[in-house]
Amino acid sequence: MLGDYNQFKKKVYDLTRIDLSAYKESQMRRRIDTLISKNAILSYDAYLGLITKNKEKMDQFVNYLTINVSEFYRDAEQWKVMKEKAIPELIQRFGKNLKIWSAACSTGDEPYSLVMELSRYLPLPQIRVVATDIDRQVLDAARMGLYNEKSIAGVPEEFKRKYFKKIGDSYQISHDIKSRVEFKQHNLLEDAYPFGYHMIVCRNVMIYFTEEVKIELYKKFHKALVKDGILFIGSAEQILDYKELNFHRKNACFFSKIG
């Protein structure tokens, strides 16, 4: 036994402002215990001592904790809906100066995919996406914009040719796309939410949270959107009580704000 997990959660919160109680416990505890074992540590207290003194180990902990799995154009059918319906509707309703937020953006695959899709309808200089994540390391990786072949497998061929340059075994996304995204650190569970957004994208993140936390976060996204703004979620996620939360379900992954 590594010790008292509840005490560990409290100390992690004091140290990082990451609330482990918001995550499904069995799943998160298993991840943490695995990481502690990899570091040859025998207790939660000893591990806390390590990450408190060692910045590299702290970065490793946060990176491991935040479960960064991402790829361009994940769930292709939903990106088809984005291209053919969501973006044209937003432009028709709100004009061309859209405010878009990619929440829990991980390594940048998602906000960069958004910029490319928006470029079908808008000049690149007119596009701006705010992308946030709790993890500084993945934000640094996102700003670098260097990806492996698997990550960009879903990118339409026209965009691969136009916006990616092969460097060794990796692919560098162009400055034209990178410059349209502003990356910021943000904790979905703790920090104040911005507002006035026409579209918020938060995908494949809610599956890690408890049902109570999900509801609170969806309420916050609702407030952050303008009326008729769109929330785009992952295909593995659901908003079962979307009517009570004042959302209209446009399809499995797209919800618009009512009121």
pLDDT tens per residue across span 199-243 = 999 998 898 889 999 999 999 999 999 999 999 999 889 898 999
Residues 137 and 52 in one domain: no
Does one domain contain both 170 and 133? yes
189 and 246 fall within a common domain: yes
Same domain? 60 vs 113: no
Residue type, position 167, single letter: I
If one counts the domains in the chain, the total is 2
Domain membership of residue 89 (yes or no) is yes
Sheet holding 146-148, edge to edge: 146-148, 170-173, 164-167
What would the mean pLDDT of 83-96 be, rounded to a whole number?
Answer: 97
Same domain, 48 and 143: no
CA atoms of 84 and 183, how far apart (whole Å): 27
Three-class SS of residue 236? coil
Name every residue whose Cβ is closer than 8 Å to that of residue 220 and which is 6 or more positions away in sequence.
193
In-domain check, residue 70: no
Any domain includes 18: yes
Q: Are 68 and 138 in contact (CB under 8 A)?
A: yes
Does the pTM of the predicted model rise above 0.85?
Answer: no
Q: In this structure, are 35 and 121 located in the same domain?
A: no
Average pLDDT over residues 111-133: 97
Q: What is the pLDDT of residues 20-51, one digit of tens each?
A: 887 778 878 888 999 999 999 999 999 999 99
151 contacts 215 by C-beta, under 8 angstroms: no
In this structure, the answer to whether residues 46 and 90 fall within a common structural domain is no
| Domain-embedded: residue 232 | yes
Structure tokens at 74: 């994940």
Please answer whether residues 87 and 117 qualify as being in contact, where contact means their C-beta atoms are separated by less than 8 angstroms. yes
What tokens were used for 79?
């990106």
**Owning domain of residue 53:** 5-65
Looking at the domain assignment, is residue 59 inside a domain? yes
| Contact in structure between 137 and 212 (CB atoms under 8 Å) | no
Same domain, 131 and 21: no
Which residues sit opposite 147 in a β-bridge? 171
